[in-house]
A and B are shown apart, each in its own frame.
Chain A
Amino acid sequence: MTDLLVKNAYVIDPLSGIRGEIMDIAIRDGKIVEDTGSGAPVIDAGGCLTFPGGIDSHSHVCGTKVNFGRYMSPEDMRAGRTARKGVMRVTSGYSVPTTFGNSYRYSTMGYTTVLEGAMAPLEARHTHEEFTATPHQDMLANTLFDGNWAIMEAVRDKDVKRAAAIVAWTLDAVKGFAIKLTNPGGTEAWGWGKDVHSVRDEVPYFGVTPAEIIETMIRANELLNLPHSVHIHCNNLGVPGNYQTTLDTIDLAPDLNRNRQSLYLTHVQFHSYGGSTWRDISSKSEDIARAVNSRPQVAIDMGQIMFGRTTTMTADGPMEWKLYMLHHNKWSNHDVELETGSGIIPVYYGRKSLVNCVMWAIGLELALLINDPWQCMLATDNPNGAPFVKYPEIIALLMSSRYRDIERSAIDPRTEHYVPLFAIDRELDWYDIAVMTRAAQAKALGIERIGKGHLAEGAEADIAIYPLKPDELDPAADYQQVMAGFAKTRYTIKRGRVVARNGEVVVEGANSTIWSRADVPPEYDLNRDAEFVKKFEQYYTVRMRNYPVQDIYLPRGYFISTEASL
């Protein structure tokens, strides 16, 4: 039995309805309990801001394309290296750090759970290997289905149940957490160097549309009762005028789940552009926010960009090609047979680029114009909009209109003609930030049920204590302190153990990998489906028996089990 008592914490725990109270938190064996035994070690939080451990619901940190981002970028590796120190291993990388680099940096910011935004099923084993080398965070993997042939055939046959069976089989085989659709249909079209340009465009050969894929998958997801909803990266990412596609996508989402959204739209900043070319690109954040505000069945994350150098990487192969045609920097692409694609290019977001300034404004506007913070999560699509180490700056911008005004004077002066940002005076408070960085994620991912994102009795003792005293600080004025405070916790506690202190990692860490397993009736078990097996053996280059990720790759695997309603 290991106990720990955190005293004098200024707690904000939105899922438990705690909005800022000085209290003690008792921990036993990694869980929050009513009371510790006497003599438990004590941490005095000294009235500092205390949140449940941070949860990133969309980040690219592990797997084939992330590692290729490192592989092709020695300049980025050089830009962020640290030496071995205590229990900390050597790290490299600024925008695409090594696995230990990611893990330590998240940990010192108080993050204890991270969802990898895109895992190609065929290459899942790789993602899991890197998860194991990301020791401080519990990890989950969005699993790509956007160009899955079997799924598109089921969509063509209007067979939602078959689609559900394919999802169940795949998640079980690759130890995935949720359904991810990245540019649905577009990644298959990219197999021929093409793309789809609206939700009604047909995918070559398969004759289905993105809209049909999205609708089928939302229903399949709910048939399986999966913890998370469908997680979508809409078509037309980064294209001027794409806000219409985003609105069309939002319109496709029915309200099917009482506990959470039915559709999660990721990095919506990249999907909220008006205009028709790069010259007249403008913000359509108001239209998007209006749509979100009127539909409880959707939730989004910001996809904020921040100025500076970073690396873009996504399963959206055709989008990366377009970006390459714009930047003419180095370009990598990696199509995955029968499943999806991917691409990588390095970028620089400049304050002197009007387009980049408009993008920067849009992300902030989404967070400020969406009324309910539970519907808008803070993320940069790490590292696409910016490396996650920029989160503290984003928090400061959202909490201080004064800081936004200072930034305004540093960016392209034409920006204000294209964006509403500087007319918005809303300033978010500590509670909003707690929602947008952990509580909303736990709810959206459906992992509050396993004790994530809150501090109620029985919850996982994942806790972040920041060197910030809400009673003595005015975030609107003291935004510099806010930024510094969120960059380095005083304590990060993971499963009841202090893992980082004042910016330094103090233990080696031992994470879990969380995945979803939906039990389907035997007639929906694809291992017994002759047609599925035959096509698999015919068109994949890996034997079906060698495809599933063996248990050994998840040394501390944990699955959320559901009963499918098939």
Chain B
Amino acid sequence: MKIEDVVCTFCGCLCDDLVVEVENNRVCSVENGCTLANEKFMRDHRLKNPIRRDGNGWKAVSYDEAIRETAEILLDADRPLLYGWSGTHGEAQSVGVHLAELIGGVIDNTSTVCHGPSIMAIQEVGHPGCTLGQVKNRADVIVYWGANPIDAHPRHMSRYTTYADGFFIENAFRDRKVIVADVRQTESSAIADEFLKIDRGGDYAALSALRAIVRGKGDLIPSRVAGVTREQLFRVAEICMKAKFGAIFFGLGLTMSPGKYKNIRNAIELTQELNRHTKFTISPMRGHWNVYGSNEVFTWITGYPYAIDFARGIAFYNPGETTSVDILMRGECDACLVVASDPGAHFPRACAEHLARIPTVQIDPHVNATTHLATLQIPVAVTGIDAEGTAYRMDGVPIRARKLFTGSYPNDQEILEKIFARVKEAKRS
């Protein structure tokens, strides 16, 4: 059976034009997707059933047992952490928040190790952005800063920017200028009209220089800033100011390099400055397909996009204190529920070691690095393959991921609701 307009639940581009062929509850071909999508749909090797650590090995357990044990672990914990969420649908995330509230725990999503600093910058100066279609239809200047879309978001350029023809841009390739700023050459920089090769740690200075030029203070600029020549900085500023519609996209190369949230703040303020001359927008290249959804869901329920601590009964937010990495580093956390992410692969070593010391339950379809730290793993359906639900694209557009067939696995939401019900029941008695 061929299914059209399938949503790819891999990266923040959330492409919704895939054509997928399904036979015997298995995806057998994918059209329109990038290599990452093919990987996601075609190489879906799942854990067969819940497993519990047993000495040096694993023992199969039933779903009921696994759910009961998870509830007990959470009830028993003084400082539980519910982490992950970027790889599941909004309905499951929502149950997660209510669970965290119920047990007075901390809930955090993967922004903590990716665009957390971007969020902090936005909380200081705001965020002039737009939906991706606005860029596709209008933008004649595109800037990628600290981002390599060809690698991490392979269809970003063809669907939304560089190669995407739009209403006011009939021939994207000819009518659009592409600027790439990065500390190294990448596949993306290779196709740029201007490549700003910035010294490591020099993003903040380069952004400040551009701001100064746009402000009309160009005479302050020395002959080189962070490895970029004065001439090139002027040229780039000029391209931006002359744009009819410009769009900046930034990635972890800017967010996670020295300066962190200050870099993002500077980039946003450059965008605001450019708006005095023309139309300009800026957007983070969100990585996981529904990390932005976790920010949205957490926000409408708690008021904050990530790192929320319910220990005092109210929702308390203080990145640096209530963020997962910090809680684990301080050795504070005494039980962890990991949902739809892989902290074992992405957290600092000391955090991973702490996770291995405490009861860690992972709800995830696949064996990953976190499996090796976990006490218990509960496999589930994959949203976008055998489960459906809401996802928020990197620009905030909500799309419903399709279910391509009905498989035998329960989905995240069902598992979490059962855990929630057990915890609630235990709290009542």
Contact = CB atoms under 8 A, between A and B. Distances in A.
Q: Are chains A and B native binding partners rather than an unrelated pairing? A: yes
Interface of A: 62, 64, 67-68, 70-74, 77, 81-84, 89-93, 97-101, 122-123, 125-126, 129-130, 133, 149, 190-193, 205, 321, 324, 330-338, 344-345, 538-543, 545-546, 550
A532 B17 CA distance: 18
A331 B272 contact: yes
A90 B296 contact: no
A337 B245 CA distance: 13
Interface stretch (B45-53, B309-317, B342-350, B353-361): B309-317
A123 to B, nearest CB: 6
Nearest to B278: A193
A99 B390 CA distance: 18
Contacts of A333: 126-130, 281
B390 A129 contact: yes
Contact of A321 (B5, B275, B305): B275
A77 B398 contact: no
Contact of B131 (A82, A100, A122, A133): A122
Interface string B388-421: 0010100011111000000000000000000000
Contact of B399 (A72, A100, A130, A546): A546
B5 A331 contact: no
B259 interface: no
A73 B124 CA distance: 8
B5 A543 contact: yes
A312 to B, nearest CB: 12
Interface stretch (B35-43, B71-79, B132-140, B222-230): B132-140
Contacts of A542: 16, 133, 397, 399
Contacts, number: 178
A6 B313 CA distance: 36
A335 B139 CA distance: 13
Contacts of B122: 71-72, 332
A149 to B, nearest CB: 8
Nearest to A546: B16
Contacts of B314: 81-83, 90, 92
B133 A90 contact: no
B301 A133 contact: yes
Which 3 A/B pairs are nearest by Cβ-Cβ distance? A337-B133, A92-B303, A77-B303
Contacts of B151: none
Given A130-B300, A191-B138, A332 B167 contact: no
B138 A192 contact: yes
B301 A99 contact: yes
Nearest to B120: A74
Contacts of B119: 71
Given A71-B296, A338-B133, A345-B126, 17 more contacts: A67-B299, A70-B300, A93-B303, A97-B303, A99-B300, A100-B301, A191-B245, A330-B124, A330-B126, A331-B128, A332-B122, A332-B129, A337-B137, A338-B137, A541-B132, A542-B397, A546-B5
Chain A contact surface mostly: mixed
B313 A541 contact: no
Interface in B274-301: 275, 278-279, 281, 295-297, 299-301
B90 A72 contact: no
A334 B281 CA distance: 9
B159 interface: yes
Given A64-B396, A89-B101, A332 B128 contact: yes
B279 A193 contact: yes
Contacts of A539: 133, 136-137, 166-167
Nearest to B132: A541
B301 A129 contact: no
B327 to A, nearest CB: 18
Contacts of A344: 126
Nearest to A75: B123
B7 interface: yes
- Residue among B90, B244, B303, B312 having the largest count of chain A Cβ atoms under 10 Å: B303
Contacts of B168: 205
B123 A541 contact: no
Contacts of A67: 296, 299-300
B94 to A, nearest CB: 8
